[in-house]
Amino acid sequence: MTLIDSNLIFTNIEADDKTSLIDFLANKLYSHGNVKSTFKNAIEKREQTYPTGLPTGIIKVAIPHTDAQYVNQSVIAFANLEHPIEFQNMAANKEALKVSVVMMLAIAEPHGQVKTLEKLMSIFQDETLLKFLSSEHDSEKIYEKLVTLL
């Protein structure tokens, strides 16, 4: 079973800030029945304490997520952004990163996040793949690429 749903891949998203982007993706996950109504607040609260920005070279990534108790069905929502927005660095909370790619994790199994994060880290280490993910406008092409990797 794949964690990628073609209905949850969004390209060229205009977002003013991380809160508006998190709201957008969380609302999409909720409307598809993947998460509980409490998911959005839980993910926003977690982001304040445990930021999810990753300094992955030229193209920065964020992986907002929260605990399994807020999730109905495991899936990843993907967005590439029209203009980068700030997320705090996961490793250095005070450092802001200009993020271009966001993968919101909704993982229903408590231990499933670690496995998923390991797969994502291998994707994020591939600069060519990240360039593709950040600049591709065709959500079907992104889906086809991600479904083979996750």
Tens-digit pLDDT profile for residues 35-86:
999 999 999 999 999 999 999 989 999 999 999 999 999 999 999 999 999 9
Quote the mean pLDDT of the chain: 94
- The H-assigned helical ranges of the chain are 18-31, 39-49, 112-124, 127-135, 139-149
CA distance 112 to 79: 21
- Residue 110's region, left for phi above 0, alpha for psi from -120 to 50, else beta, is alpha
Closest CA to 139 of 94, 97, 80: 80
| pLDDT at 115 (0 to 100) | 83
Please state the length of the chain: 150
Is residue 111 over pLDDT 90? no
Q: How confident is the model at residue 113 (pLDDT cuts 50, 70, 90)?
A: confident
Q: How confident is the model at residue 1 (pLDDT cuts 50, 70, 90)?
A: low
pTM tops 0.85: yes
Q: Are strands 4-13 and 53-54 parallel, antiparallel or unpaired?
A: unpaired
